[in-house]
Chain A
């Protein structure tokens, strides 16, 4: 069966520090991968998605970046965090066919102080 792992669950980082959040999927190959962010009390905002290794599409310009070094690994990074980067970060995967839903990870709650 397919599983998605996302870590860490919580993170407190100072302003200006770097960030690296990792997401891995098991039990499938060639998944589509996604990073979403949810600010406090807000909806889900799509940040990045990837349909293959090295292929990243960015939806929102910001100081975050994403990389997909391996088929089932998706990394969200920042060189210098801002206070506004605080939020709940969610990774998700899906198959590349219409008619199938997403599976989300358990999320990382990031607090920038």
Chain B
């Protein structure tokens, strides 16, 4: 019973913006959306999270639709080091574990 839907793979040219979509149409009102990425053979790395407002940090921007049924992670200037699997995951409380879907494999191409 998947809670999120992401495209299995995407390509992006180096230096261009990478826009990674996530569908979470069953998200409830108190669930945050978290984004992580996993570089090959490493543990996942936290990127950003949001509830309903758009968010930005030093790594990325997160755009959440007004109905909160989908979100987009934006890497403004992708580099080769951004090649990884990107996961989005909703979470409704501090004690609820994150359940990851299959993620999107982003390949940044020189």
By a beta-carbon cutoff of 8 Å, the part of chain A in contact with chain B is 32, 34, 36, 42-44, 46, 49, 51, 57, 59, 88, 90, 92, 94-107, 109
Interface size, chain B (Cβ < 8 Å): 25
Contact A43 B103 (CB under 8 A): yes
Judge whether B91 is part of the interface by a CB distance below 8 angstroms: yes
Closest to B93 in A: A98
Contact of A105 among B32, B43, B49 (CB under 8 A): B43
Judge whether B109 is part of the interface by a CB distance below 8 angstroms: no
Query: How distant is the Cα of A94 from the Cα of B87 in the complex, in angstroms?
Result: 17
A43 in contact with B102 given A88-B41, A90-B43, A99-B32 (CB within 8 Å): yes
Query: How distant is the Cα of A104 from the Cα of B43 in the complex, in angstroms?
Result: 6
User: Known pairs A44-B44, A99-B94. 15 more at Cβ < 8 A?
Assistant: A32-B97, A34-B97, A36-B100, A43-B87, A43-B101, A43-B102, A44-B87, A46-B98, A92-B43, A94-B94, A98-B92, A101-B36, A101-B46, A104-B45, A107-B42
Query: How distant is the Cα of A59 from the Cα of B108 in the complex, in angstroms?
Result: 34
Contact B32 A106 (CB under 8 A): no
Query: How distant is the Cα of A43 from the Cα of B43 in the complex, in angstroms?
Result: 12
Contact A102 B46 (CB under 8 A): yes
Query: How distant is the Cα of A106 from the Cα of B87 in the complex, in angstroms?
Result: 17
Task: Report the minimal beta-carbon distance from A43 to chain B, rounded to whole angstroms.
Answer: 4
Contact A100 B42 (CB under 8 A): no
Contact B99 A98 (CB under 8 A): no
Contact B94 A100 (CB under 8 A): yes
Task: Report the minimal beta-carbon distance from B4 to chain A, rounded to whole angstroms.
Answer: 11
Task: Report the minimal beta-carbon distance from B92 to chain A, rounded to whole angstroms.
Answer: 8
Query: How distant is the Cα of A34 from the Cα of B36 in the complex, in angstroms?
Result: 16
Contact A95 B101 (CB under 8 A): no
Query: How distant is the Cα of A45 from the Cα of B65 in the complex, in angstroms?
Result: 27
Closest to B92 in A: A98
